[in-house]
Structures are given as structure tokens and as C-alpha cells.
Amino acid sequence: MKKKITINLILYALLIIFCSAQCFAADFYFKNTKAPISTINVINIYPHDPEAFTQGLFYRNGFLYESTGLLGTSTLRKVDLVTGNILDKIKLSENYFGEGITYLNNKIYQLTWKNKRGFIYDFRTFKKTTEFNYDGEGWGITADDKYLYMSNGTAVISCLDPKTLKIIRKINVHDGQLPVININELELINGEIWANVFMESVLVRVSPITGKVLGWVDLSPLYNKIPKYYSVDVLNGIAYDRSNNRIFVTGKYWPHIFEIKLASQH
């Protein structure tokens, strides 16, 4: 048992060193994983506001809904997928940094980064109906038909009861013995939680029951499809059209929304 703990500690220390050096923790995960690593095919490319510092994204009834961040520029917006036109938008107060958003039961839930404050809006009118508190930082949020799932930049995803907004269980994201830290924007796709990993060009697919990594998705080829004159930031934003099984991804200041499909695995 002691030996196992020691190996875990060594692996975790190596991961921290990789992350703090910002030299592609994804490479480290890829080398150590036994889960499949998928490549992608790009099915469609749609326009995206290159001034949007994307922090949250979901798809519902033909439209994209997006949360943008930074102090003073944080918004909640409804976006036409095909044209990229912003159809509806509200601005957050200057002291709030917008983060993840999700849909559940005709409501939109929006997190803020360090404010420990969440907002609930009417899905159709964007009218704010409730505010709620949470501990720690707010990063990504998604939902199945019953529960909310929230990330905070660690390897832990919290499952919340939407009625009480209290945490009912915690999901430790792990690949074998290795915790997967920096879990960011989230999306529930076919019973799995898909997540951006902050600063990395990958998605991780996670079991919402056990936290086990079910697979990795390498999105690095997307960077070659963005014209070099755009000064883009990191990948962030996953949306899923459940009716048509379409997956959309984008990033902060990215000029495109990419519709992707998983291709080969190795």
C-alpha cells in the first residue's frame, strides 16, 4: 500500500512540475494513460465573435448560448450558430467575471470566477430570477436532466442538487492513479462529462459516476485552421446538440466555432 501511495505522489509531483512549467501536461497524460486518445474530423466551421473571451457554452433549440469573462466585459448571450450574430445579450456588473453556463429546466445557470456567486436566469427572457452562493472558485458548469455538475479548476467536479444548490457528491477526475487537474468548461455528452483542461488543447471524457477518465480527445489540429493574424487564447467551450448529435467547440477570442466528430482512436 505504501509503495502505491509513493508512486501516486511521484506521479502527482511530476504533473505539478509539468503544469507549472506550462509545458503541455497533456503530453504527460497521453504518455501515462490507458484510455483511448481520439483524433477528430472537422464537420463544419461557423463564425464566432473573436472578441468573446469564452468561458461557457451550450446549445439549445437551434441556438448557442455563451458566457464571456473578464471584469467589465462579462456577458451572457444568445448566438445564431450559422451567422455568429448575437441575438440577445446582457452585461454583468463590472465586478463580476463570467464563467460557465448551463441549461436545466427552463433556466440558465451562470457561474462567476472568484465572486462565489451564481446567477439563475429565465431561459427565454434572460431575466435574472435568483442568485446563489458557492464555496471556492466557479469555472465550468453543465447538467444532465436532474443534476448540475460544477468544476473549480481542481480535479474535483461537484454534483449539485438544483433545488437546494448544495453539493450532494464530489467526483474526483482521475486517469488510472493520476488526478486530472485544471478541469474547466464542461458538457454532458451521451452520459459522459466532457471537459476542457485549462491551458491544454485536449478534451477529457469523464464518467460522472466514478470520475474515471474514459478517453481523451486531441484538439490540437484546430489551431492550424485559425488564420495566424488572430491572436487567440486557449480552448474553452463545448456545446452539444443532443437532437442531432452535434458537438461544437471553440476558445477564448477564437474566430470560429468548430463542429467536430471523433475519428480514430489509439
Contacts of 65 (CB under 8 A, 6+ apart): 57, 58, 59, 76, 77, 78, 79, 101, 103, 108
257 near Ca ion, judged by CB under 5 A: no
Contacts of 81 (CB under 8 A, 6+ apart): 46, 59, 62, 63, 64, 248, 257
Instruction: Kindly tell me which of 175 and 187 has the beta carbon lying closer to Ca ion.
Output: 187
**Near Ca ion by CB under 5 A, which window of 181-189, 200-208, 210-218, 225-233?**
181-189
Q: Kindly tell me which residue out of 156, 171, 188, 238 binds Ca ion, with binding defined by CB under 5 A.
A: 238
Instruction: Kindly tell me which of 25 and 186 has the beta carbon lying closer to Ca ion.
Output: 186
How many alpha carbons fall within 13 Å on the CB side of residue 103?
Answer: 18
Distance CA 69, CA 82 (A): 23
Instruction: Kindly tell me which of 137 and 241 has the beta carbon lying closer to Ca ion.
Output: 241
Q: Which residue is nearest to Ca ion (CB)?
A: 187
Contact 251, 233 (CB under 8 A): yes
Amino acid at 122: D
Which helix (H) or strand (E) segment is 209 a member of?
none
Q: Give me the least distance between CB of 104 and Ca ion, in Å please.
A: 12
Q: For residues 40-59, which are near Ca ion according to CB under 5 A?
A: 57-58
How far out from the chain centre does Cα 144 lie?
Answer: 14
187 near Ca ion, judged by CB under 5 A: yes
206 near Ca ion, judged by CB under 5 A: no
99 near Ca ion, judged by CB under 5 A: no
**Near Ca ion by CB under 5 A, which window of 36-44, 159-167, 183-191, 197-205?**
183-191
188 near Ca ion, judged by CB under 5 A: no
Contact 93, 131 (CB under 8 A): no
Instruction: Kindly tell me which of 21 and 145 has the beta carbon lying closer to Ca ion.
Output: 145
Residues at the contact surface with Ca ion, assessed by CB under 5 A: 57-58, 187, 238
